[in-house]
Structure 1
Amino acid sequence: MEIRVLGGLSVQLSTRALHLGTPKQQAIFAMLTVQPGRLVTVDDLVDELWADRPPRSAIANVQTYAANLRRAFEACPTGRGVIERQRNGYRLVVDPERVDVFRFEMERNAGREAVSAGDLDGARQLLERAVARWRGPMLAGIPLGPALTSRTVAAEEERLLTVELLADVQLRSARDDLAIPLLRDVVARHPLRESAYLLLMRALFERGDNAEALATYDEIRTRLVTELGVGPGNNLQDLHRSIVTSVSHAGGVGPGRSAAVTAGVQGGATPGETGRTAPVDHLPRAVTDFVGREEVVSRLLAETRRVEERVPAVHIIDGMAGSGKTTLAVHVARRLSDRYPDAALFLDLGGHGEKRQMEPASALVVLLRQLGVPAERVPVELDARVELWRHELAGRRSVVVLDNAASSEQVMPLLPAEPSAVVLVTSRRRLSHPEVGPSRTLPLLSPQESVDLLGLSVGRDRVEAEPEAAFEVVRRCGHLPLAIRLAGARLAHRRGWRTLSNK
């Protein structure tokens, strides 16, 4: 029997491929497959299939799915006893070596040991075999809940680390012609991955392509600044300086390893250092036309002061699109900056809209980088990232805005553990969790607040000259700040329009 999860889920028995049934049935088998030999409880399976609102029939459905899988396996002689039922769950009884992701891990670990022993040829063969097992994303096509999502994210990170180790082995064997295509593929698919850019710069420089090496640095620097609001890590900066220095001293450097490049690769922050030298501010620019909301702002500030010495202050603000949730959160964060001066962080979680929803593991990478943690210090495992994030926050007075959240499950790993931080979460959904309390729904602007906001765009004199028309404009905008700003911008650029004519 061979079980594959790398590139999709499939089971090859001695005579045929096994049909695994419906998507939810496949998800149950995937949960058993990534934990061979371990008991997976019915509760775990329910949480995986229905993370938010399990139906009343959830337990019965899980039992039905599992029974179907057991019958499918037992219909083939080599599949009997593969899924074992226990009192409160199920167990996959197979040797982990029959599952491709575990064979990948064995070969990767053996490759690392070969590198440590100085056996570069042996390491290259093992790592190439491990990388070749990936035929596509892990569990592609399977509906993933929280546990499987975390497992696939960790596995993908291990794949990338293995590819980078293979590229490093090839470079140490003077095979930059093999390393460069591997690394170009990684940075194309993961355009913010600094460790891959570091190796690619090194490979290009050692090949003698100085201009391309420096252009590669400019590319990752621009991406990091534009998309994350942070600069390259210490290792990238050190390597860039080494290349510039070598090129300027030699008038252009040909192929061959240089001591400067090696120093650049190995430099950077030592374990325990965060690279933080000054307060950091990643909040968006505050709007200049913030109007009203005095009661809401006062309540949030008062609630923060009430709990900040005992627990982290966490405020969840929900409301419809365009109601001003993000503007309010940033405004309150700015008001708190004197009390929380060390760090002001902002992250769009992509819960709603065109952007892809950000998984907690990815969100933690961005937040840690905003704090100045070097990319090479960010752990692979989600739990380790959470621990590092909370450790970093514990030493700072920080305010964090988590914008556009999709669910409580997305937010919980991002919350601090110590009362040194305040977090403002915005969402279109009404989120709630026992550890953070209820969500607060942001009301619409009052009619007068709406007109005052319109007046900031089109001019107070113009609004006062046509008060009834102004109230009608904001009424038709639904008293939503975003709609009022858009309408005001149109009217401001058309001075010949009356307030409502040609609307």
Structure 2
Amino acid sequence: MEFRVLGPVGVWNRGAEVPLDGAKQRTVLAALLLSGGRALPDSRLCELLWGEHPPATYPAQIYNYVSRLRKYLGPDVDIRRQWSGYMIHPGDGRLDLAEFERLATLGREAQENHRYEEAADAFHAALALWRGPALMNVTEFLARAETHRLAEMRMAVLERRVETDLLLGRYAQLVPELTRLVGEYPLHEKLRCQLMTALFRTERQADALAVYHEGRRVLAEELGVEPGPTLAATFRAILTAEPARTGGPSVVASSWHAVRPAMLPPAIGDFTGRAAELSALAEVLTGDHACAAQVTGMAGIGKTALALFAAHRDRDRFPDGQLYADLGGNRGNAVEPQEVLGWFLRSLGNAEPSIPRGLDERVRLYRSHLAGRRMLVVLDDAADDAQVRPLLPGEAGCRVLVTSRVSLSDLPGAAVVEVGTLGTAEAVDLLAAVVGKRRVANEPAAARRIVRLCGWLSLGIRVAGSRLVARPHWSLAYFAERLADEQYRLDELRLGTLDVRARLDGSYLALASQSQLALRRLALLEVPHFASWATAAVLGVPRRTGDEVTENLVDARMLEVTGTDGGRRQRHRFHDLVRVFAREKADHVDRMAVAASRVLTTAN
């Protein structure tokens, strides 16, 4: 069975097309295929099907679309319900996008190892899989979310394929194709450089220079900018007839300006543990299977420290530089992608007047700068997928690390690194790294008690250690006694800008009011964990609504899933510091409501 999204969305089985009902059913199929093997929430499917105005019956309609897909695709394709969404396992089915990415990777490896014939064959085969613009027959909402990304992927491979054909001396064959492409993409400077090179190599120097002057005019009229460094360098090389015409295939040398951005903040010197998570990030930064990784986990768990440590450890693999931005996603001041692109473009050597104002123009200029380069981009504290997508490079040689408290489901192909609390040994090692090994060795039991009262949370342990450093006359046992009082625990875990309560408050304020109410009331339950129906009970709402609120709290990393109750329903618990925080927020009405719900005696 063959699944196609690079053109009209469809399914082919043994050479015959499988009939599908229409655009919305094809949208569901394409969205599941593009989710990279992860569950796609109902809420996201709803957005891709109906935008901001879904029908009241959208859950039933999604269920019907999925049911009919199961019928049409047969038992070999597994579409299953997971949490509050769906995921697809195509079995032995072949997705044209996956094959495109595989061939592109083979071509890139062959090109980098100077096996140009092999590289050209792989790139040509990859591009032959496209049967027109991607996702031609889906809803406008899915097309708007995905087609630009897919088009950028195709353009990156097309650029490499043309570059390889130039290296093989196929100048005459390339001139008509590149002339058409430059007409279609007049602002794309790399294609224009490649056309100029092909024209020069076919003894058409005047035509090559004319292509440059036309490009300069278009850039000035459309964007108000001068040609970039690569286009300008190509013009100078042709003007002075510097490119060699004999001695084997070569192209006009590109010129990367002297700016090498190095924007990474300093790594934490006393970083401790996280061997498994570091290994997963190393696979992304040094391997070929994924170009991006999202590092997720609750507030204060150590996502940023982990990402920066991994970035510094492998930064030598990115000789063209490292870009970094704090996106402010969970502090109520999320930065617009357009502003971040302005920071990046200035760091890449663009003068302020030359930076376009529009988001799309900035994205194109940014990706043009990164084309053919090996750069690392670290995006810290992302709010959602929409904030991240414009900041992704279009070049497979670059790598991206994204940290976020929420799972970014719309970043296909990104590896997910879930960061949990530290183990006791790692937590004690971190405390020792902050306060000193001798001080911890003198009071090992008190050290273990401190990390337990901090909930094995990296930020809590770091704050606790910093307070002990600031008060060398305190014993660890004395500080553990101070932490033991829940009423003042979060006060103890605050020192300057390091503040556990403030980090949790950012996650709390991002919740809807009903989820905030549920969090406060669930925290009042005197049980270690509780069944999924407890949310409905404390809110006084139908069980289905309660389940949805519970899932929202799990997605926001304010609740943890501990398992099931023996049936289909899950059980949940609080991280200790989240429970302390939520109880602080609870008022008299919350306490009365929980008492009235009788959950206190039945939830466990």
**Which TM bucket (shorter chain)?**
0.5 to 0.7
Q: What is the aligned partner in structure 2 of residue 19 from structure 1?
A: 19
User: Do residues 121 (structure 1) and 117 (structure 2) align?
Assistant: yes
User: Do residues 104 (structure 1) and 100 (structure 2) align?
Assistant: yes
Mapped to 2, the partners of 1:387 and 1:125 lie a distance apart of 27
Mapped to 2, the partners of 1:132 and 1:157 lie a distance apart of 16
Q: Secondary structure at the match of 2:140?
A: coil
Q: What is the aligned partner in structure 2 of residue 446 from structure 1?
A: none
User: Do residues 161 (structure 1) and 150 (structure 2) align?
Assistant: no
Q: What is the aligned partner in structure 1 of residue 402 from structure 2?
A: none
1:203-260 superposed Cα distances (whole Å, 9 cap, x missing partner): 111222101100110111111111111111011111112222228xxxxx99447999
Q: What is the aligned partner in structure 2 of residue 386 from structure 1?
A: 391
Displacement of 1:95 in angstroms is 5.0
Contact map agreement 1:201 1:217 (CA 8 A) in 2? yes
Pairwise mapping of residues 361-376 of structure 1 onto structure 2 (< 5 A)? 362-365=360-363
Relative distance call for 1:270 and 1:199 in structure 2 (3 A) is farther
Q: What is the aligned partner in structure 2 of residue 178 from structure 1?
A: 173
Report the more deviating stretch, 9-18 or 89-98. Answer: 89-98
Contact map agreement 2:224 2:356 (CA 8 A) in 1? no
Contact map agreement 1:104 1:130 (CA 8 A) in 2? yes
Displacement of 1:149 in angstroms is 3.0
Pairwise mapping of residues 252-263 of structure 1 onto structure 2 (< 5 A)? 255-256=245-246, 262-263=252-253
Q: What is the aligned partner in structure 2 of residue 191 from structure 1?
A: 186
Mapped to 2, the partners of 1:18 and 1:158 lie a distance apart of 27
Contact map agreement 1:37 1:94 (CA 8 A) in 2? no
Mapped to 2, the partners of 1:183 and 1:61 lie a distance apart of 46
Q: Which amino acid aligns with 1:365?
A: V
Relative distance call for 1:51 and 1:363 in structure 2 (3 A) is farther
Structure 2 residues not aligned, in runs of 5+: 264-331, 337-350, 378-384, 394-508, 511-604
Displacement of 1:272 in angstroms is 2.2
Contact map agreement 1:207 1:254 (CA 8 A) in 2? no
Relative distance call for 1:272 and 1:116 in structure 2 (3 A) is same
Contact map agreement 2:224 2:354 (CA 8 A) in 1? no
Pairwise mapping of residues 270-309 of structure 1 onto structure 2 (< 5 A)? 270-272=259-261
Q: What is the aligned partner in structure 1 of residue 6 from structure 2?
A: 6
Contact map agreement 1:206 1:256 (CA 8 A) in 2? no
Q: What is the aligned partner in structure 2 of residue 140 from structure 1?
A: 136
TM-score (norm 2): 0.45
Q: Which amino acid aligns with 1:386?
A: L
Contact map agreement 1:36 1:91 (CA 8 A) in 2? no
Q: Secondary structure at the match of 2:156?
A: helix
Pairwise mapping of residues 485-500 of structure 1 onto structure 2 (< 5 A)? none
Displacement of 1:3 in angstroms is 0.9
Relative distance call for 1:118 and 1:255 in structure 2 (3 A) is closer
Q: What is the aligned partner in structure 2 of residue 266 from structure 1?
A: 255
Q: Secondary structure at the match of 1:151?
A: helix
Q: What is the aligned partner in structure 2 of residue 63 from structure 1?
A: 63
Q: Secondary structure at the match of 1:145?
A: helix
Pairwise mapping of residues 441-460 of structure 1 onto structure 2 (< 5 A)? none
Mapped to 2, the partners of 1:165 and 1:81 lie a distance apart of 34
1:68-107 superposed Cα distances (whole Å, 9 cap, x missing partner): 2122223xxxx54432233422121125870111101100
Q: Which amino acid aligns with 2:99?
A: R
Q: Secondary structure at the match of 1:246?
A: coil
Identity %: 29
Report the number of matched residues: 304
Q: Secondary structure at the match of 1:11?
A: strand
TM-score (norm 1): 0.53
Q: Secondary structure at the match of 2:40?
A: strand
Contact map agreement 2:229 2:255 (CA 8 A) in 1? no
Contact map agreement 1:238 1:268 (CA 8 A) in 2? no
Contact map agreement 2:6 2:132 (CA 8 A) in 1? yes
Mapped to 1, the partners of 2:134 and 2:23 lie a distance apart of 15
1:38-78 superposed Cα distances (whole Å, 9 cap, x missing partner): 2112111012122222222222221121112122223xxxx
RMSD: 3.8
Contact map agreement 1:192 1:220 (CA 8 A) in 2? yes
Structure 1 residues not aligned, in runs of 5+: 248-252, 275-309, 315-340, 349-359, 389-433, 436-503
Relative distance call for 1:59 and 1:192 in structure 2 (3 A) is same
Relative distance call for 1:235 and 1:367 in structure 2 (3 A) is closer
User: Do residues 217 (structure 1) and 212 (structure 2) align?
Assistant: yes
Contact map agreement 1:364 1:385 (CA 8 A) in 2? no
Mapped to 1, the partners of 2:252 and 2:137 lie a distance apart of 42
Mapped to 2, the partners of 1:184 and 1:21 lie a distance apart of 40
